[in-house]
Structure 1
Amino acid sequence: MQRNSSAYLNDILEAASAIQDATAGIDESTYSATRLIRSSVEREFIIIGEALKVIAQRDPQLFAAIPEGRQIIDFRNLLAHEYLKVSDRVVLGAIQTDLPVLVQLATS
């Protein structure tokens, strides 16, 4: 049975929550020095990007309501395929700035 868009939105919310839990109370130097945290955060962002990719294909109207949807998918591709170009500062910026907006959109 094919999953519906709300299931993918739930995946996004769960991944966002995992990112927030993994990075709560840590600073940039701790983030950069802790491979396990970086790996888990990047994996959760990959899940978010993949869920948005599926939503884009199956529910274009919903995807259109996510202003940064295409950039999030591109970010997922960067994390998965061009890992040498990943900047910890960019990832942390996405956590602090973009993730709360995405969570708000996914819950509305």
Structure 2
Amino acid sequence: MNDVLLSIEEVESYFTGQPKLFENFKKDILRQRAIERNVDIMGEAINRILKIDATFQLPNARAIVNTRNRVIHGYDSVTTEFLWSLIIKHIPALKEDIQSLLK
């Protein structure tokens, strides 16, 4: 789970000292690819945990793995809007869930 948390913190660091603005993100291909890579790491880490312990209690674990698979295998269907929704909504929720499990 530490890899998941580290990837979340890395994603957060991409916006340190600046506002999170979709218009800026839409133009920043390097940041988009960095987000994709971290989503890959998060999903793969959770997938490995699930393979070891199928009873692992992380909300939306399967959806996170499916998101990773979409980014990797369905790369041509990944839009900036999709990535933005991960940044704004889903990654912060995942961080809360991971932090709760680590307590």
Count of matched residue positions in the alignment of Structure 1 and Structure 2: 98
Cross-structure match for 1:105: 97
Cross-structure match for 1:19: 11
Q: Which amino acid aligns with 1:39?
A: R
Distance 1:27 1:95, change over 3 A: same
Could you tell me which runs of 5 or more consecutive residues in structure 2 were left unpaired when the two chains were aligned.
Answer: none
Cross-structure match for 2:50: 56
Structure number with the higher helix fraction is 1
Runs of 4+ in 1 over 6 A off after TM superposition: none
> Cα RMSD between the aligned structures?
1.2
Q: How does 1:20-39 map to 2 (within 5 A)?
A: 20-24=12-16, 25-39=19-33
Could you tell me which runs of 5 or more consecutive residues in structure 1 were left unpaired when the two chains were aligned.
Answer: 1-8
Give the TM-score taking structure 2 as reference length: 0.87
Q: How does 1:69-108 map to 2 (within 5 A)?
A: 69-108=61-100
Q: Which amino acid aligns with 1:35?
A: I
Give the TM-score taking structure 1 as reference length: 0.84
